[in-house]
Structures are given as structure tokens and as C-alpha cells.
Amino acid sequence: MYESLAGALLGATAALGLALAGILVILIWKKDRTRKLSYLRFFIQVVSLVGIFYSFTLALWLSAFFLVIFAVTFFSGRFFCGWICPFGFYMDIVALVRQKLGIRYFSLPEKVNNSLNKLRYVIAAVILTAPLFLGALTINPASGIQALFLRGPFRPIDILLSPLEPLIVPFTGSIANLGFNGWSISYPYARDILTYISVPNVTLILIYVFIALTLISTFMFRRFWCRFCPTGISIAAANRFKALKWMPLLHINKEEEKCTKCGICKRVCPVQVTDVYEQKGGNIKTSLCLNCMRCVEMCPYEGCLKMNLANKTVFKSRNWLEPSNSE
Ligand code: SF4
Ligand code: SF4
Ligand code: SF4
């Protein structure tokens, strides 16, 4: 009874939030309030988290989520990463706390960042196939490849969906059953570690070490896990199909003649994408970009950077250096 009421309330909150988010998008777009994009992003991240939690209470077939994310990525680039992903949202909150404490972030040296970018498919493959090598596999090889991937204990789809894990999940069996009333405390990838490394006393330690490491690294470097995340790397691959050159429909565009090479876009980018700064004008189509629009929000020259949807400008940078334009 209590759970169905809570579920209905969550569903109503998610629906109301989505409607409000839509109104906010239209208002900000119509009034050209590019400098308010961070508030809009925060709002959409909260609504998405409630919506995703709600879908966990409904025990939806979560695997379908990944197909939806993948399909959306074809059209909107990595909008999911910039605006929806719960793990990305937690990382943004950690960064906000750091900022409020007045502590500066670190940036990865450009060489290290470039090497990570080059190795990203290898990193994703290692993380996704790691369970095969952990010795926790109990599948009978005779039962075939379909059982191995879809019904057996090795399910890369679970790892791919891990960033969607809310911090409280509406079922037991997550981090050591810490929780209340049938709900548990959770954390992205905690269930995968529980599933694949079932060694008494070691599993829990590993989960807490993973939580501590991701939190500390995120406190120091913005969106740290996004540089290794197999989900982000896999959906980024959706943007690399040369056959679909007109995709994604949502992308950043730069007007070279308005750029003063001030470097702000490079500094504010949470994953240290340098293409916006380096590329001569035109559409920026790197698959590393999260489409978070932070660079569009912060570029200080009118119309230098734009977020285009099917070649129509949705948001453009404002000349906020002049007091009359500082909103
Ligand atoms: S890269 Fe991974 S963790 Fe980061 S926002 Fe995308 S899906 Fe989420
Ligand atoms: S913030 Fe704008 S003006 Fe400055 S380097 Fe980037 S694109 Fe050019
Ligand atoms: S390049 Fe711009 S839109 Fe892309 S991730 Fe960096 S700040 Fe966000």
C-alpha cells in the first residue's frame, strides 16, 4: 500500500517535472537566456533522476533503457551524458560542493587526457569483459551464447546500465542490504561488484573503495568517471558512423571570425574537450562532447558558439562581458 502510494507520487512528480522542464526550455529559449542554462540542466537532471527512480519501482525492463539511450544518441549526440545520467549528476553535485567550498579543480595533463581518449575503446572493452575473468562465472558453456549474454551471470548490459543506478533503490540486495522498508542504499556499479566478486569480507571493502575513489577523484577532476565509463564510450560510438554524416542533429557550431581564442570554452569543459577551442568554425562533432552546453553558456562573444538542432539555433553565446548583456 505504502509502496504503491510512494510509486504513484513519484510518477506524478516525474510527469509534473517533465512538463515544467519543457516550459523552462521554451522560456529560456524564447528569452535567449543562455547564461541560465546551468539552472535548466540542474532541473532536468533532478527530474530525470526522479523519473529513473520511478522506472526502478515499476521494475521496467531496464535493458530497453540502453536501447533508448543509444537511439537518442544518434539524434542528439551525448545529450544523455550531459543532461540526464544520474551518475553524471552526482559528479556535478560533488563539483558544486567543491566550488562552494572555494576549492579549485585540477585538470588532467593534456597528454594524459589525450592518451585516455585514444584508449577509451580498450578501457570500455576491459571493464565490460572483466567479469569473464573474475572467476565468478557459473554458466554452463553448453547452454550457448544467448544464455551467456542475456540470462547468464555475465551480463554486460547490467554494467552499461550501472550509471543509471539511483542512490536509493526500491529493492533489497544492494550494498549489504543497508536500507529501510524493502529499499536499499546503492551506488553505480555496486551491484556489479556484488555480483561478480563474491568473496566474503572483500566484496564490501571493494565497493567502499570504489565509492571513495570515485568521490575523491570527482572532487579533484570534474566528471572523472566519464573518461572511463563504458556506457559513455559505447554510446559515443553511435556518433562515429560515417554513413550517417548528418547525425547527430544536435551539435555545437562555432563562428570562427567571432572567436578571440580566449580559451574559456576549453577551461569550462568538464571533460576537457579541446575541439571547440581548436577547430576552425563549423559544426563540432567530436564524440567526446557531452552536449552539456557549458561552453555555449560561458563563451563571452555574441553568437560565437551556438547549440544547433537540425541547423536551427536553439541557444547561442551572449556577450556577457558588457554589463548591459550580463543578465
Ligand atoms: S560517461 Fe557514463 S557516467 Fe558519464 S554521464 Fe555518460 S553515462 Fe553517465
Ligand atoms: S570561449 Fe568562445 S571566444 Fe573564447 S576561445 Fe572559446 S569559442 Fe573562442
Ligand atoms: S565541448 Fe562544450 S558542450 Fe561539449 S562537453 Fe565540453 S563544455 Fe560541454
Q: For 213-233, what is each residue's pLDDT tens digit?
A: 999 999 999 999 999 899 999
* 88-92, 192-196, 297-301: the lowest-pLDDT one: 192-196
Lining ligand 2 with CB less than 6 A are: 254, 259-265, 276-277, 299, 301, 304-305
Count of residues for the chain? 327
The reply to whether 98 and 202 lie within a common domain is yes
Is residue 278 scored above 90 in pLDDT?
A: yes
Task: Say which residue, 135 or 249, is predicted with more confidence.
Answer: 249
Task: Please return the burial class of 133, using the count of CB atoms within 10 Å of its CB with bins 0-12, 13-18 and 19+.
Answer: exposed
Q: Is the pLDDT of residue 17 over 90?
A: no
This prediction's pTM: 0.86
Give the pLDDT confidence score for residue 32 in this predicted structure: 66
Is the model more confident about 153 or about 326?
153
How many angstroms does the Cα of residue 28 sit away from the middle of ligand 1? 25
Question: Is residue 302 predicted with pLDDT exceeding 50?
Answer: yes
- Are 234 and 101 in a shared domain? yes
- 235-246 per-position pLDDT tens digit: 887 766 655 666
Confidence band of 131 (pLDDT split at 50, 70, 90): confident
Cα–Cα distances (Å) from 113 to 65, 203, 235, in that order, read 29, 30, 19
Instruction: Tell me: do 158 and 43 sit in the same domain.
Output: no
* 3 located within any domain: yes
Q: 157 with 286, same domain?
A: no
160 and 260 belong to one structural domain:
no
The atom of ligand 3 lying closest to the CA of 293 is 3
Q: Are residues 234 and 275 in the same domain?
A: no
Are residues 185 and 283 part of one domain?
Answer: no
Q: Where are the beta strands (DSSP E) in 170-225?
A: 179-180, 183-185
How many independent structural domains does the chain possess? 3
Specify the pLDDT at position 136: 46
For residue 150, the model assigns a pLDDT of 47
H/E stretch holding 276 reads helix 275-278
**For the range 145-154, what are the long-range contacts, defined as Cβ-Cβ under 8 Å and sequence gap of 24 or more?**
153/195, 153/196
Same-domain pairing of 161 and 301: no
Calculate mean pLDDT across residues 179-190.
81
Same domain for 229 and 257: no
Distance 35 CA to ligand 2 centre (A): 15
Q: What is the mean pLDDT of the chain?
A: 82
Is 70 exceeded by the pLDDT of residue 66? yes
Same domain, residue pair 196 and 139: yes
Last residue of one domain, picked from the residues 238, 259, 279? 238
Q: In this prediction, what percent of the chain has a pLDDT beyond 90?
A: 36
| Domain boundaries, position 319 | 249-325
In a domain, 277, yes or no: yes
Please identify, among 238, 259, 283, the residue that sits at the C-terminal boundary of a domain.
238
Q: Does residue 89 surpass a pLDDT of 90?
A: yes
Mutate to test the pocket of ligand 3, among 292, 307, 314, 316 (most ligand atoms within 8 A of CB): 292
Judge if 232 and 103 occupy the same domain: yes
Same domain, yes or no, for 104 and 197? yes
